[in-house]
Chain A
Amino acid sequence: KQEVTQIPAALSVPEGENLVLNCSFTDSAIYNLQWFRQDPGKGLTSLLLIQSSQREQTSGRLNASLDKSSGRSTLYIAASQPGDSATYLCAVSYGNNRLAFGKGNQVVVIP
């Protein structure tokens, strides 16, 4: 079974610090990996998609890296702001139609 794990489950950081969120997956034969943001009671907003052939993707203050061989991805958020408070979900595609999700990293940025 393809498992996606996100550690830590929850973290709080002071405003301005960099955030580092980790995602691991058991089956390294992925096609791509997506990072999403979810606000309480809301839908999922796609942040970044990394293809299996890529090692990283960047969008503004966000940078996501991918190490297929070790089954890991890391999302970096530079200079965190209170508006970054949310749950961040990692989801893996194995080339079929479904995304396999982790449980998320719940982030609180303290002003």
Chain B
Amino acid sequence: EPEVTQTPSHQVTQMGQEVILRCVPISNHLYFYWYRQILGQKVEFLVSFYNNEISEKSEIFDDQFSVERPDGSNFTLKIRSTKLEDSAMYFCASSRRQGPSTDTQYFGPGTRLTVL
């Protein structure tokens, strides 16, 4: 069964450094998402992406964050200058379609980001 994959599984970085988290969505899906989960807290929406542009972003997704689909398969999340509070599990998700009857979002295994 097709699944969303993410790399790396764990990333450790120093505060102020840039990180890029990578995702390969399910191949026939058109909508892509990033969520994060700070330890012990709820899963929070960051951004959604369709047709090579951001379709929605949350208040968390500030200028430090960016997303890109550099080729036909990868979907990346970049954090420009990491802060301690960016430490979290980051999940990528994808769905076939979007709209009033929102399709199931399928999640990857996550990247645990630790900022020291």
Contacts and interface: CB of A to CB of B under 8 A. Distances in A.
Interface of A: 4, 31-32, 34, 36, 41-46, 49, 51, 89, 91, 93, 95-104
A95 B43 contact: no
Contacts of A99: 35, 43, 45, 105
Given A99-B45, A101-B42, A101-B43, A46 B104 contact: yes
A89 B109 contact: no
Contact of A32 (B44, B56, B102): B102
B104 A97 contact: no
B25 interface: no
Interface of A is mostly: strand
Q: How large is the interface on B (under 10, 10 to 19, 20 to 34, 35 or more residues)?
A: 20 to 34
A109 B110 CA distance: 25
Contact of A97 (B56, B101, B107): B56
25 contacts: A4-B42, A31-B100, A31-B101, A32-B102, A34-B104, A34-B105, A43-B109, A44-B43, A44-B91, A46-B104, A46-B107, A89-B43, A93-B102, A95-B99, A95-B100, A95-B102, A96-B56, A97-B31, A97-B33, A97-B48, A97-B55, A98-B48, A99-B35, A99-B105, A103-B42
